[in-house]
Amino acid sequence: MREKHPIHTTLSTDAMRILERYEKELGTKNTVLERALLGMDKLRFKDKTDTQSISRIIRRIKTGIPGFDGLIEGGIPEGFVVVVTGPPGTGKTTFSLQFLLEGVKNNERCIFFSFEENAEQLINQSIRFGWDFGEYIDKGYLEIFGFSRFSTEEITEIIDIFKPKRIVFDSLNIFSDITDFRRSIQWRNILKEIKDKKITCIAITEKKHGLSARKFDDFDFMGDAVIFFDKKQNHELDPYPTYYIYPQKMRLTKLNELPSPFVFTDNGIELKSSAGLERKIACNTLAANKPKIENIAIINRELRISLNSIIGFSELMMVKVPGNLNEKQERYVHNVLTSGKHLLELIQKRSELS
């Protein structure tokens, strides 16, 4: 039984009339006053945060991308909505699938909502990297909804029933018009469901520009984190584009804000560092737990890119595109060109033997 405390006060005539009217309904004046005060408190502090219930520990979710978690203090904070964005063909969907793979491997339930690809196409994409998504679907850890045309209510119902720990939406540009996205009650209902259940979510969006444009949209402002994907030719003679991943924002996280190059390996996306790779080659400290064939493939690719550049520029100089060369300069360029081609042949033969 709650303890009672006597009070002594005075009321205006109008307030007394209201009190007497409700006294007839509720029985006593003190009951009327008590209910009125408690009701006022409930309305005033309806959305007040209970600071005692907030965890001081930031639980981080591993992405499963080798080399990436080190850029974001070990992983994505649990319950974050991460906007993965960039131009087409830069690895956004592969990154997201690899993120879900890490989850199902740790017995977490995961959902992929695709608004423009069918489930079979996504599963085939995963097979390319040796990921058996079919096994996890059969075991009940993964659901892939292709060409999703669900209503907001259906999406929230699926989330409520399946109880996932990780979700991917690909892409939000198809799901909602960017012009009124942040005011959209449909997305806000889904967002509330995700936040309430502390689901870590990747929301893929599309950009028509690369990283250098430095333009942001409403999708970027909505997210707790933004990861930008891009690719570019380092120079005209480079036969391969270099892919970059750039964490632009992540709340509660100290970021490495430099764009990091990555490669598509047989096992998915993996970050690389040219300087770090050279040090590992020189010191013979390539990771012991990585298959030898994979390390050789990465080294060969790096060497071929550099040699093709050297050969290409040497050939331009030999045909005097930059201008005339004297006899001594021509001899030097000829030696560089001949040696470069010879070394490229040796690397190619070494690759075939491996």
Write the pLDDT tens digit of every residue in 111-145. 999 998 999 999 999 999 999 999 999 999 999 99
Q: What is the pLDDT of residue 280?
A: 45
Pick the residue with more confidence: 265 or 212? 265
Residue 45 lies in a domain: no
User: Which range, 45-49, 53-57, 299-303, has the best average confidence (pLDDT)?
Assistant: 299-303
Q: Which region among 2-6, 160-164, 250-254 has the lowest average model confidence (pLDDT)?
A: 2-6
Pick the residue with more confidence: 178 or 288? 178
Residue 1 lies in a domain: no
Q: What are the pLDDT digits (tens) for 291-331?
A: 556 666 767 777 777 777 677 767 767 777 667 888 888 88
Tell which of 207, 240, 272 closes a domain.
Answer: 272
Measure CA 4 to chain center.
55
228 and 326 belong to one structural domain: no
247 and 296 belong to one structural domain: no
243 and 349 belong to one structural domain: no
The domain of 315 spans 280-353
Counting other chains too, the contacts that 243-250 makes at CB distance below 8 Å and 24 or more residues apart are 243/90, 243/91, 244/211, 245/68, 245/91, 245/95, 245/269, 245/271, 246/211, 247/71, 247/72, 248/220, 249/220, 249/223, 249/225, 250/72, 250/76, 250/77, 250/80, 250/82, 250/224, 250/225, 250/226
Q: Would the pLDDT of 206 be above 70? A: yes
Q: Would the pLDDT of 99 be above 80? A: yes
Q: Is the pTM of this model over 0.75?
A: no
Terminal CA-CA length for the chain = 81
Q: What is the pLDDT of residue 174?
A: 84
Q: What are the pLDDT digits (tens) for 238-276?
A: 667 889 999 999 999 998 778 888 999 999 999 986 434
CATH number at residue 163: 3.40.50.300
Q: Which region among 87-91, 313-317, 350-354 has the lowest average model confidence (pLDDT)?
A: 350-354
Tell which of 272, 300, 330 closes a domain.
Answer: 272
340 and 213 belong to one structural domain: no
339 and 257 belong to one structural domain: no
pLDDT band at 346 (very low <50, low <70, confident <90, very high): confident
Q: What are the pLDDT digits (tens) for 20-33?
A: 888 887 888 888 88
Residue 49 lies in a domain: no
246 and 310 belong to one structural domain: no
DSSP 8-state class, residue 97: H
128 and 80 belong to one structural domain: yes
The domain total for the chain is: 2
82 and 137 belong to one structural domain: yes
Q: What is the pLDDT of residue 133?
A: 95
- Provide the percentage of residues in the chain whose pLDDT is more than 90: 43
Q: 76-77 and 60-61: which strand pairing? A: antiparallel
Distance separating alpha carbons of residues 79 and 335, to the nearest angstrom: 59
Residue 152 lies in a domain: yes
202 and 312 belong to one structural domain: no
Tell which of 244, 272, 300 closes a domain.
Answer: 272
Residue 52 lies in a domain: no
Residue 144 lies in a domain: yes
75 and 223 belong to one structural domain: yes
**84: how many CB neighbours lie within 10 A of its CB?**
26
Residue 174 lies in a domain: yes
Q: At what angle do helices 274-283 and 292-318 cross, to 10 degrees?
A: 110
338 and 263 belong to one structural domain: no
266 and 301 belong to one structural domain: no
